[in-house]
Amino acid sequence: MLILILLPVAFLLPPRAGAGEIIGGQEARPHSRPYMAYLNIRRKDNSFRCGGFLVAENFVLTAAHCNGDKITVYLGAHNIKQEEQSQQKISVRRPIPHQLYIRETHNNDIMLLQLEHKAELNEQVGLIPLPPAHQRVQPGTVCSVAGWGCTSALRKVLPDTLREVDLKGDSGGPLVCGKTAQGIVSWGSVNGTPPSVYVRLSTFIPWIRKTMKKLQP
């Protein structure tokens, strides 16, 4: 049985759990995770992808290190290389990284994205519940992640379709335990050695609730 060691703001996970990778996973059943968000992030010198998850009709949660000059959110996506009818493309109105985020250490690596308009909720696009404040995950709980991150520790292979696996990673995406988002994929070693670190969401529930309430129209 795998045991999770819980830190104040992060999960330390077992070996071979690179935070930007879905190693040894499989393609997810299309739209089986309707809360998943694909983030296309542009900066002046480059562009990259992250995962995220829909927690309110106009808010997505992700990692603070996924910030950029322009962020576009795709909801209802499975194959990001295709123009699926289920996809909703929404620009980010305002990124709100945690005020205590430290780039060098990835402490408090959490960010809310306020969308330009509300998502249309349906079978392909839905919300995922958040845990109560300061709730702890029981040791031995099996959790899973999903995303469009690298599928190989040896080659930088980025998949087109959503993939999922128990206890691996994809930056910004949710660590799901049962049907609840308990963490955010933060960081880990690129060669697959431990640790892999996940932000513990329950620690930040007061900040999340306060920020969303403040920005709601």
DSSP 8-class letter at 115: E
Is this prediction's pTM over 0.85?
no
Residues in the chain where the model's pLDDT stays below 70: 1-25, 149-160, 164-167, 169-170, 188-195, 217
Active site residues: 65, 109, 171
CATH architecture of 5-215: Beta Barrel (2.40)
User: Tokens 């959790």, residue?
Assistant: 143
DSSP H or E stretch at residue 92: strand 88-97
181 class by beta-carbon count within 10 Å (0-12 exposed, 13-18 middle, 19+ buried): buried
- Residue ranges covered by each domain of the chain: 5-215
Please state, in angstroms and as integers, the Cα–Cα distance from residue 206 to each residue in 20, 34, 132, 133, 209, following that order.
27, 25, 9, 7, 5
pLDDT, tens only, 78-135: 988 888 999 999 999 999 999 999 988 889 999 999 999 999 999 999 999 999 998 8
